[in-house]
Structure 1
Amino acid sequence: MPVSISTLTLREKIGQMLLIGFRGARPAECDLIVRDIREHHIGAVILFDQDMAGGSVDTANRRRNIESPAQVKELLAHLQSQARIPLLTAIDQEGGRVNRLKPAYGFPESISHEELGKLGQLSETFRHAELTAQTLRSVGLNLNLAPVVDLDLGPDNPIIKGKGRAFSADPAIAAQHAAEFIRAHRAQGVLTCLKHFPGHGSAKGDTHYGLVDVTQSWREEELMPFQELIAAGLADVVMTAHVFNKNLDSENPATLSRAVMTGILRDRLGFQGVISSDDMEMRAIASHYGLENSVPLAIEAGVDLLCFGNNLSYHPDISGRVADIIVRAVESGRISESRIDASCERVLALKRKSGLFC
């Protein structure tokens, strides 16, 4: 049934701003995330196939959330049954190397953005994306953290070019393929997410491992796919990049920058939907700012949905820690409750759009 923001407590509203990763593949293994859903009211969960924080080099012992289609469906149905407000259930299923639902677990083969861009047939991009969306919908996933609309601008880029994640170096071509990807998902009732704003394609480093400065390499044209897709009404969610560009903000990386998130994305490009952070535990943020600083800064910048994959490092109490930081920021007057209301309402509107309240 529909949820009115006026009926929610402060902590319930804050919970809707949290996208949390967790350990466990079956209901009996999920006590901690169920606690977070019930007690911290988290609004979204993200699934991974491998546990990167476990320290094991044996992939068989790094099982995380995904074993088979039937198992994922059972897991997500269980988590939804625990939530008073239906959950956004997210995954990074771009295709190619960024692919959590692998054939080894019984899911269909996938193809990378780079391969689709080189193929150059928009109908094929739609067809492959439709298969992906059908797969997600069939197991209860309602948000694909894709497509990537970063441009293929640097042969030395380890995380975009190095993993075949960009459709093209041409912003118009990238936008065309992304539009087909999104339309295919919408036809199946699955939300999508443009990433990574304001562009990660020219970077020569990986924000998973540290701060990446794109001041000298970033180009204005990196905004163009975002601008075109937003103008076409095809942007459900936009994900931030943790890149630093002193020409856009002399102090903070994009995720923590009001000049970038509000000044450019909201005011200049007119995006009124949900802004999601990239994983706040990536070292570009975690090693330089810490939770107490980064969480309020991200909200002040304009971020609505704070992603903690809980996988690069694992903290069983991450939901409560982050919620407490936000509560303290509101109680101290640093962040107004109306600012929390704005983000919560955007998240709830996204859930209405996806049909979760039907």
Structure 2
Amino acid sequence: MVAGLAGCGTNAQTPPQQPASPSAAPSPTFDEAALRRKIASLLVVGFRGQTVSSNDWIVQAIQNGLGGVILFDKEIETNAPRNITSPAQVTALVKSLKDASPGGKLIVSIDQEGGQVARLNPSNGFPATKSEQEIGAQNSPAATRAWAQQIVDSLNSIGANLNYAPVVDLNTNPNNPAIGQLQRSFSANVNVVVSNATEEIQVHRAGKVKTSIKHFPGFGTATGNTDFDVVDVSATWTPTQLEPFQQLIRNGMADSVLVAHLLIRQLDPNLPASLSPAVVTNLLRGQLGFQGPAVSDDMQAAAITRRYGLNEAVELGLKAGLDLLVFANQQTYDPNVVDETLDNVVNLVRTGRLTEAQIDQAVARVDTLRP
């Protein structure tokens, strides 16, 4: 399936020379170069290296309109340093990336939750931070603000402007390997989660850093990690898991919402949440009324790649209503992922499976995350 779609995407750069047969649907007319830049602006991509030069593929992608990058401290397989080795080094790296961006509107994103999930940490010269679970146990607005300020100060110091945080999953299953065991949740109590997340988001906003509440529609009951396998939470997920998201959205506290690769058969019997119109369009946008950008979890995660080709997953995600597609380039490293994805989505528009109006809507939403 991947090879077939990828080949189709590659051909998309050269319009067919033969006239369409009478039975073929008319192709939409569009400015392909302009469309490619629009699509590029919807992608956030990971890359290797602590420095970059003008010849690097990531720099060239940024110059051609890539929406953003995601920074990691370590390679997931080898634990070798990836993008961050010291404050001075990563600050210079971010400046080089931003300098390549037309208009300086590059999204520089990172997972800086606190505790064990903090890409800026003592091993690379940044302060240690408490976990959300520790902060939730204190449940003190002043302590939460001080903790959040420490996180924002580190982000501001390097020039990052989008933090994939806070986690607002309920700590329903403390043995959850993706959430509970890593102390990533404030609490099992909805009110504790919402109040502490609100404090954290307000501090980020004061520091001009956007946030992404995660992992919609609720990861707290899981017994697996979508980074490594498909996780079906149908037997344990309940609508209570939605309540933190619902309250934060209603209170205007959601800059963006990150959608998980969870299978919840009550919501969609076949598709994971991230690729499901029932979840992204009907539930998140319709029922919960969220009008901002919907962000994908890593599109190269095992939960996706074991069931779908990348091109198929991108098509399903955009049709579902995702706006910002994240490619961590960790579990799979593909320097061609930007060009391949642009070819794929241009072909989707050309063949009428997506419309340019849908792309334009996504661009408008994602633009709200730009500095």
Alignment TM class, shorter chain as reference: over 0.9
Instruction: Identify which range, 283-292 or 253-262, moves more after superposition.
Output: 283-292
> Structure 2: how far apart are the matches of 1:233 and 1:244?
27
The one of 87, 92, 102 aligned to 1:84:
102
Superposition map of 1:164-175 within 5 A: 164-175=183-194
Following superposition, which runs of at least 4 residues in structure 1 exceed 6 angstroms of deviation? Answer: none
Deviations 1:255-285 (A, max 9, x none): 0000000111001111111110000111110
Q: Residue type of the partner of 2:67?
A: G
> Structure 2: how far apart are the matches of 1:31 and 1:125?
40
Report the CA distance between 1:176 and its aligned residue.
0.6
> Structure 2: how far apart are the matches of 1:184 and 1:30?
37
Are residues 1:228 and 2:228 paired?
Answer: no
Deviations 1:311-335 (A, max 9, x none): 1111111111111111111111000
> Structure 2: how far apart are the matches of 1:267 and 1:146?
23
Instruction: Report the count of equivalent residues.
Output: 340
Corresponding residue for residue 267 of structure 1: 286
Corresponding residue for residue 76 of structure 2: 52
Structure 2 residue ranges without an equivalent (≥5): 1-30
Corresponding residue for residue 90 of structure 2: 72
Deviations 1:161-206 (A, max 9, x none): 0100000101111011100110111111111110000000011111
Structure 1 residue ranges without an equivalent (≥5): 1-5
> Structure 2: how far apart are the matches of 1:106 and 1:69?
6
Corresponding residue for residue 35 of structure 2: 10
> Structure 1: how far apart are the matches of 2:59 and 2:134?
39
> Structure 2: how far apart are the matches of 1:175 and 1:155?
19
Corresponding residue for residue 18 of structure 2: none
Corresponding residue for residue 3 of structure 1: none
Corresponding residue for residue 311 of structure 1: 330
Q: What SS is found at the alignment partner of 1:303?
A: coil
Corresponding residue for residue 227 of structure 2: 208
> Structure 1: how far apart are the matches of 2:330 and 2:311?
19
> Structure 1: how far apart are the matches of 2:153 and 2:81?
24
Report the CA distance between 1:103 and its aligned residue.
1.1
Deviations 1:196-250 (A, max 9, x none): 0000001111111111111110011111111111111111110011000111001
Q: What SS is found at the alignment partner of 1:124?
A: helix
> Structure 1: how far apart are the matches of 2:54 and 2:262?
36
Corresponding residue for residue 346 of structure 1: 365
Are residues 1:43 and 2:62 paired?
Answer: no
Q: What SS is found at the alignment partner of 1:173?
A: helix
TM-score by length of 1: 0.92
Superposition map of 1:141-160 within 5 A: 141-160=160-179
Report the CA distance between 1:155 and its aligned residue.
2.8
> Structure 1: how far apart are the matches of 2:364 and 2:147?
33
Root-mean-square deviation (Å): 1.5
* Equivalent pair of 2:295/2:326 in contact (CA under 8 Å): yes
Q: Residue type of the partner of 2:34?
A: T
Report the CA distance between 1:116 and its aligned residue.
0.5
Q: What SS is found at the alignment partner of 2:102?
A: coil
> Structure 2: how far apart are the matches of 1:30 and 1:19?
19
* Equivalent pair of 1:68/1:106 in contact (CA under 8 Å): yes
> Structure 2: how far apart are the matches of 1:66 and 1:218?
36
Q: Residue type of the partner of 1:324?
A: D
Q: Residue type of the partner of 1:326?
A: V
Q: What SS is found at the alignment partner of 1:272?
A: coil
Q: What SS is found at the alignment partner of 1:89?
A: strand
Q: Residue type of the partner of 1:44?
A: G
* Equivalent pair of 2:107/2:369 in contact (CA under 8 Å): no
> Structure 2: how far apart are the matches of 1:307 and 1:82?
20
Q: What SS is found at the alignment partner of 1:90?
A: strand
> Structure 2: how far apart are the matches of 1:142 and 1:171?
27
State the identity as a percent.
44
Q: Residue type of the partner of 2:118?
A: N
* Equivalent pair of 1:154/1:203 in contact (CA under 8 Å): yes
* Equivalent pair of 2:44/2:327 in contact (CA under 8 Å): yes
Q: What SS is found at the alignment partner of 1:75?
A: helix
* Equivalent pair of 1:24/1:30 in contact (CA under 8 Å): no
Report the CA distance between 1:125 and its aligned residue.
1.0
Q: What SS is found at the alignment partner of 2:92?
A: helix
> Structure 1: how far apart are the matches of 2:181 and 2:55?
34
Superposition map of 1:276-287 within 5 A: 276-287=295-306
Rg: which structure is higher?
A: 2
